[in-house]
Amino acid sequence: MTVAADLPIPPGAEPAKKSFLRAKTTFLSWALTTDHKRIGILFFFATTLMLALGGLFAMLIRIEHLTPGPTIMTAETYDRMFTLHGVIMVWLFMIPSIPTTFGNFILPLQIGATEVAFPKLNLASFYVYLLGASIVILSLFLGGIDTGWTFYVPYSAHTPARVLPTCLGIFIVGWSSIMTGVNFIATVHTMRVKGLRWMKIPLFTWAIYGTSIIQILATPVLAMVLIIVGIDHAFDWGMFDPARGGDPVLFQHLFWFYSHPAVYIMILPAMGVVSDVIPTFARKNPFSYRAIVYSTLGIAFVGFLAWGHHMFVAGISTFDAGAFGVLSMMVSIFSAIKVFTWVGTLKNGSISLKAPLLYVFSFFFLFTFGGMTGVALATMALDVHWTDTYFVVAHFHFIMVGGTFTGFLAALHYWLPKVTGRMYSERWALIAWALVTAGFAVTFTPQFFLGNGGMPRRYYDDPPQFQWLHVTSTVGSWALGAGMVMVLVYITYSFFRGAPAGPNPWGSRSFEWRTASPPPERNFQGPVDFAIDAYDYTTPQEPE
Amino acid sequence: MTFALPSWAIRALDLPPEAGPTARDMDALHATIITITFAGTAAVALMTLYYVIRYRRKREFEATPAVVASGKREWIQGALLLGMFLAFWVWGYAQYIHIETPPDHSMVVYVSAKQWMWKFSYDDGQTSNDVLYVPEHRKVRLVMTSRDVIHSFFAPSFRVKQDVIPGRWVNAWLDAAEPGVYPIYCAEFCGVGHSTMLGEIHVLTEAEWAKWRRGADPEEMIARGREAATKNGCFACHTLDGQRHIGPSWSRLYGSQVKLTDGTTVLADEAYLTQSMMDPLAQIVDGYQPVMPSYRGHLQPEDVGAIVELIRSLKDGGGKEPTIALPKLVVEKTGQTTEKQP
Amino acid sequence: MSDAELADTPPTHDHYATLEQQAAAVKIALAIFLASEALLFTGIFALVVAYQSDWPHAFQIGIAHNTKVLGSINTGVLLISSTLVAVAVDAQRAGRRVLAGSLTLATAVLGIVFLVIKMTEYAQHFSEGIYPGGRGHFFLEHPEHGLPTFWSLYYLATGLHAVHVTVGTGILVYRGIRVFKGSLQHSLEASALYWHFVDVVWIFLWPIFYLA
């Protein structure tokens, strides 16, 4: 394919004599690297491995639903599968993936920094993550865990499965989350290139900044409560045991105080990707930069006040429930504003339909539908019928897979040339995109219908009237899985055989493209000019 | 708008067959919301499609105008949208309160959930497992607790779902209009048998209901309540004949307005009575000392229901039992019976 | 090192442009880390508040049983230690390295004193048969509902705080030794700020578990 840079290559962006990839090649130069770009790549491999594992569990769960009664596993195995699918996807993939991989790689480039503020802490965060993830995986071999990713007491305090190792693993991964969050906030505050004002920072960096705030404030509460649950199970303290004066609903409050903001930890980075991909491929400034920044911060703060909408039928007072309902509506308004702004950005643009933008359009459609069903759920009476059914499962998979995961894929295709200096195959990307999007829709749309019909979640066996919907959903999951494998294959292939990309194959004005691709060890080969705005597409520039 | 859709699609989009008026109300809300959801998503998709075609890249290096959104328009758009969301909320919240508030004078059934079955106890002393019998056109209040972990009582056709929590008594109610058989699911993961914790609600016609009731002895439940109250030392402080003792008498208690130490009054209904057993210090009756121990975890759910039935049977007075006046010493002793070590 | 000396000092890590930038990064990172720590303790405080309203009587008994004297002495120890480390920061700014180093080490010593007193308390509880999770003969003698919860929360909160004191003491010992040789101003400030935080957490724990 032909690629051409539209901006004249700035003085710092000639192909680096030695990119960060080739500067050092020993094993230790990777294992002990403090280069944020290399750490980003390490995280990419680790989190992608977790995605594969979580995805495998998902496929097995879907196959189990192919026939009524036992299909390929027992109920005990099934309970462990959906628990680990949730735990791995939430804590080991969705939460860390975009911030630690693309955040690590791109954020310093977007603010003209040579490094993050604390490179060693960054590396430590990676190993802490590995340790925590290993313990979670290990718990699989210690008897597994069957509480669901929500660890509701008193079940989680009495189950015959192992609870403590999983809780400990998540606790440790939480440390990694906090370390990375602290690092990013300090970086954005203190490492910006001279003259780069706050309201000129690219939107992806803003999104990671907002995410970091949530991570730092919410994670410790979860850490605390999970440790108590672990202790309860292992040493029988009975802290939430009603027979001994404990209160199981109190646990739910503390759990959702973290786990609702965690939803925004997962979706905000993907929103950041969307906010940056659209201007690049529409060659147009964002319809309202301010609206996106303010709604990011709005989500980061108001998101902390909506946790109770997970508990409308848990026996909380109708007044509390009403307050949480109204606050949930407030949060959703920020997401709606973002969608309007993104669509508005397309207007008057010069739109080029490349794979990253295709994934962004999937995001538009799936996230909007998922978000609207979220509003429907916050319409409290309907939540009484839908909560704990497949409707909720479908709703959050539309947000998490349709939103976060397509955002992750958009980022992967968008920044691949930045990271490796090579292009993927646009044709294969188109096929894979179609498979992933269609597979997704076929997998999860029937689950809305299952929820309408009243099919509860976490059921090993299905009432017979729901069977045809389950079969459809399972078949869809195969297309989704095939699409993902295809992405993995052609991305790997591109690393060895892809066409050279040049510094700026998309003609983007964003700051990270103003240096060589892949960048040199210290990111920029000389002083970089940040005078032209990251979203300024008003001046046409012919290639040289 | 669904007139052109095939029947399977309508079935998939709709909530399950309605069993009563509450379900019908909710379905009106549901139809409105999903229509707007589809319309909103379609609008975003069509808008995107239009822009992609209209503004597709024609030349490789074209410049675009820098558009700055008008702040005023953004605020108006945001406010309109928020207005719509809040309207949804008002509608939904009103229904939510309706669902969460059992009406007065409804028939009471005690529900106790355990891994993995539902047990129903009726005011006439009958019990049934996994099948709940209710009469048509009657409002039925379910007073529920769990004996082990959290379960959730879910009757899709009634649009009712309520987590059933150990150590607490929670309320839900059914608005049964149409005779028929409707499913009950457990909706909160409760262990390996979660998907087998199924039940049925049989809404009986008046004739069927009368026939089903005939077999039962209404005195049985009350007798059991008397036995449980004796065994647990309740009569050490409470009388059945209206005499004042360490605690309030049970005679003429049910259905009365009780004045509390904080000056408020509360209706002595099932919820108040069960709460007073589980968490006695939460609401202290004016003029009495906060000395009652909690019976949380010490009373079988059926016994709690039986004791409440006993109190209900005394709502017009008529306690034949003599007052059992016991010295204060015994109160201390009953306090000790609350001790429980795992 | 005085401020004047600092102005010309290059940063100790070469990805920073200036020492000023390095100091700013350390300060903001510590501030947000402490916010995170505060939320960790808030989780426990939320549990305490909720259970106290469930079992007010048991909490009264528990608090009355706790040794007010030891708890209050410990409050004094921490308050004095915080003052010392604050003076140490001033001393270093004024260029008086030896004084600053000594004061920092003295703070660490008080940290150890705090831990010794705390462990004495634990030993006393254990000998009375009070163990976490409602174990021990104390709970057979006092079957009040909610007492096991009170003591479990007590061990959890003060134990977590003791871990923080231990970490803080370690940091102060390391920093104190470095200060003698000439340490960066912002490093000592960061250590001191962490110590103040540990102190403030205790100021919340003290009334909750000893006074109320």
Question: In terms of DSSP H, where are the helices of C94-146?
Answer: 97-127, 138-141
Q: Between chains, do B342 and C134 touch, taking CB under 8 Å as contact?
A: yes
| The pLDDT of residue A4 | 40
B279, B281, B339 member nearest C143 (Cβ): B339
| The pLDDT of residue B219 | 76
Rounded to whole angstroms, how far apart are CA atoms B215 and B238?
A: 32
Question: In terms of DSSP H, where are the helices of B146-278?
Answer: 206-214, 218-231, 270-278
Chains that touch C (3 or more CB pairs under 8 A): A, B
**Please, which residues 61-120 of chain B have a Cβ atom closer than 8 Å to chain A?**
61-69, 71, 74, 77-78, 81-82, 85-86, 88-89, 91-101
| Arithmetic mean of pLDDT over chain B | 83
Q: How far is B285 from chain C (nearest CA, A)?
A: 18
Could you say which DSSP state residue C104 is in? H
The residue ranking higher by pLDDT, C82 or B330, is C82
C208 contact partners, CB below 8 Å, separation of at least 6: C45, C48, C157
Longest dimension (CA), chain A: 77
Which of the residues B41, B116, B145 would you substitute to probe the A interface, choosing the one with the greatest number of A C-beta atoms within 10 Å? B41
Contacts of A178 in chain C (CB under 8 A): 33, 36
pLDDT surpassing 70 at residue B318: no
Q: Is the alpha carbon torsion for B14, B16, B17, B22 positive or negative?
A: negative
Q: Which residues pair with A3 in a beta bridge?
A: none
B102 contact partners, CB below 8 Å, separation of at least 6: B139, B141, B171, B172, B173
Rounded to whole angstroms, how far apart are CA atoms A450 and A468?
A: 10
Q: How far is A20 from chain C (nearest CA, A)?
A: 15
Cα distances (Å, whole numbers) of residue C183 to A53, C24, C86, C89: 47, 16, 16, 11
The DSSP code sequence of A85-107 is HHHIIIIIIIHHHHIIIIIHHHH
In 3-state terms, what secondary structure has residue A496?
Answer: helix
Find the residue in C nearest to A251 (Cα).
Answer: C47
List the end-to-end C-alpha distance of chain A, in Å, as a whole number: 18
A33-42, A352-361, B78-87, B319-328: the lowest-pLDDT one: B319-328
Specify whether the CB–CB gap between B322 and B239 falls below 8 A: no
In 3-state terms, what secondary structure has residue A156?
Answer: helix
In 3-state terms, what secondary structure has residue B200?
Answer: strand
Specify whether the CB–CB gap between C103 and C84 falls below 8 A: yes
In 3-state terms, what secondary structure has residue B110?
Answer: strand
Rounded to whole angstroms, how far apart are CA atoms A438 and C38?
A: 45
| The pLDDT of residue B316 | 78
Q: Between chains, do B61 and A339 touch, taking CB under 8 Å as contact?
A: no
Rounded to whole angstroms, how far apart are CA atoms B216 and B197?
A: 26
B294, B336, B341 member nearest C145 (Cβ): B294
What are the residue ranges in chain A where pLDDT is below 70?
Answer: 1-17, 540-544
A148, A314, A318 member nearest B189 (Cβ): A148
| The pLDDT of residue B297 | 67
> Which residue type is seen at A166?
T
Could you say which DSSP state residue A513 is in? G
- This prediction has a pTM of 0.88
Rounded to whole angstroms, how far apart are CA atoms A47 and C11?
A: 34
Q: How far is C53 from chain B (nearest CA, A)?
A: 9
The alpha carbon of residue A305 and the mean position of all alpha carbons in its chain are separated, in whole angstroms, by 21
Q: Between chains, do B92 and A315 touch, taking CB under 8 Å as contact?
A: no
Map tokens 């939103």 to a residue. A403
| The pLDDT of residue B326 | 37
Contacts of A221 in chain C (CB under 8 A): 39-40, 42-43
> Which residue type is seen at B34?
I
Chains that touch A (3 or more CB pairs under 8 A): B, C
Q: Between chains, do C32 and A183 touch, taking CB under 8 Å as contact?
A: no
Q: What is the pLDDT of residues A495-538, one digit of tens each?
A: 999 999 988 999 899 999 989 989 998 898 877 778 889 999 98
Provide block-wise average pLDDT over 10 residues at a time, chain C (212 residues): 56 84 93 95 92 89 88 94 95 92 95 96 93 89 87 94 96 93 88 96 93 78
Q: What is the pLDDT of residues A428-470, one digit of tens each?
A: 999 999 999 999 999 999 999 999 999 999 999 988 889 999 9
Rounded to whole angstroms, how far apart are CA atoms C37 and C201?
A: 10
Contacts of A182 in chain C (CB under 8 A): 29, 32-33, 36
Map tokens 């710092």 to a residue. A12
Q: Please tell me if residue B284 touches chain A, with a CB cutoff of 8 Å.
A: no
The residue ranking higher by pLDDT, B284 or A389, is A389
Q: Between chains, do A155 and B149 touch, taking CB under 8 Å as contact?
A: yes
Rounded to whole angstroms, how far apart are CA atoms A167 and A162?
A: 9
In 3-state terms, what secondary structure has residue A488?
Answer: helix
pLDDT surpassing 60 at residue B341: no
Contacts of A364 in chain B (CB under 8 A): 44-45, 48
Map tokens 């309030």 to a residue. B248
The pair of structure tokens assigned to A218 is 């919410």
Map tokens 């894979």 to a residue. A432
Model confidence at B217, pLDDT cuts 50, 70, 90, reads low
Strands (E), B60-196: 107-114, 117-122, 127-129, 131-135, 138-146, 151-155, 160-164, 170-176, 180-186
Rounded to whole angstroms, how far apart are CA atoms B255 and B277?
A: 17
Produce one character per residue of A112-131: b if its CB has 16 or more CB atoms within 10 Å, e if not: bbbbbbbbebbbbbbebbbe
Q: How far is A83 from chain C (nearest CA, A)?
A: 24
Q: Between chains, do A228 and C156 touch, taking CB under 8 Å as contact?
A: yes
In 3-state terms, what secondary structure has residue B183?
Answer: strand
**Please, which residues 124-153 of chain C have a Cβ atom closer than 8 Å to chain B?**
134, 139-140, 143, 145
| The pLDDT of residue C2 | 46
Rounded to whole angstroms, how far apart are CA atoms B120 and B200?
A: 11
If 0-12 CB within 10 Å is exposed, 13-18 middle and 19+ buried, where does residue C163 land?
A: exposed
B244 contact partners, CB below 8 Å, separation of at least 6: none
Map tokens 């969608």 to a residue. A339
| The pLDDT of residue C177 | 93
Element of type H or E holding B266: strand B265-267
Backbone angles phi, psi at A50, to 5 degrees: -65, -40
For residue B286, the tally of other CB atoms under 10 A from its CB is 13
Q: What is the pLDDT of residues A366-395, one digit of tens each?
A: 999 999 999 999 999 999 999 999 999 999
Map tokens 């970089």 to a residue. A528
> Which residue type is seen at A414?
Y
Of the candidates B334, B316, B96, B91, the one whose C-alpha atom is nearest the C-alpha of residue B234 is: B334
Determine the length of chain C.
212
CB-facing half-sphere around the CA of B225: CA atoms within 13 A: 23
Q: Please tell me if residue C98 touches chain A, with a CB cutoff of 8 Å.
A: no
The residue ranking higher by pLDDT, A54 or B250, is A54
Map tokens 């790549």 to a residue. A41
Q: Please tell me if residue A9 touches chain B, with a CB cutoff of 8 Å.
A: no
> Which residue type is seen at B17?
P
Of the candidates B214, B192, B217, the one whose C-alpha atom is nearest the C-alpha of residue B204 is: B214
| The pLDDT of residue C192 | 95
Reduce the secondary structure of A123-149 to three states and give it as a string: HHHHHHHHHHHHHHHHHHHCCCCCCCC
The DSSP code sequence of B119-140 is EEEETTS-EEESEEEEETTEEE
| The pLDDT of residue A24 | 86
Q: Between chains, do A154 and B29 touch, taking CB under 8 Å as contact?
A: no
| The pLDDT of residue B329 | 33
The ipTM value here is 0.91
| The pLDDT of residue B283 | 80
Specify whether the CB–CB gap between A46 and A129 falls below 8 A: yes
Q: What is the pLDDT of residues A464-491, one digit of tens each?
A: 889 999 999 999 999 999 999 999 999 9
The pair of structure tokens assigned to A370 is 């998922």
pLDDT surpassing 60 at residue B192: yes
Specify whether the CB–CB gap between A331 and A303 falls below 8 A: yes
Produce one character per residue of A340-364: b if its CB has 16 or more CB atoms within 10 Å, e if not: bbbbbbbbbbbbbebbbbbbbbbbb
Q: Between chains, do B294 and C134 touch, taking CB under 8 Å as contact?
A: no
**Please, which residues 115-154 of chain C have a Cβ atom closer than 8 Å to chain A?**
132-134, 145-146, 148-149, 152-153
Q: Between chains, do B40 and A155 touch, taking CB under 8 Å as contact?
A: no
Model confidence at B72, pLDDT cuts 50, 70, 90, reads confident
Could you say which DSSP state residue C11 is in? P
pLDDT surpassing 90 at residue B61: no
| The pLDDT of residue B86 | 94
Q: Between chains, do B338 and C143 touch, taking CB under 8 Å as contact?
A: yes
Average pLDDT over residues B205-234: 82
Map tokens 């000592």 to a residue. C188
Q: Please tell me if residue C54 touches chain B, with a CB cutoff of 8 Å.
A: yes
pLDDT surpassing 90 at residue B288: no
Determine the length of chain B.
342
Rounded to whole angstroms, how far apart are CA atoms A37 and A18?
A: 14
Residue pairs between chains B and C whose CB atoms are closer than 8 Å: 16
Could you say which DSSP state residue A243 is in? G
Q: Between chains, do C134 and A182 touch, taking CB under 8 Å as contact?
A: no
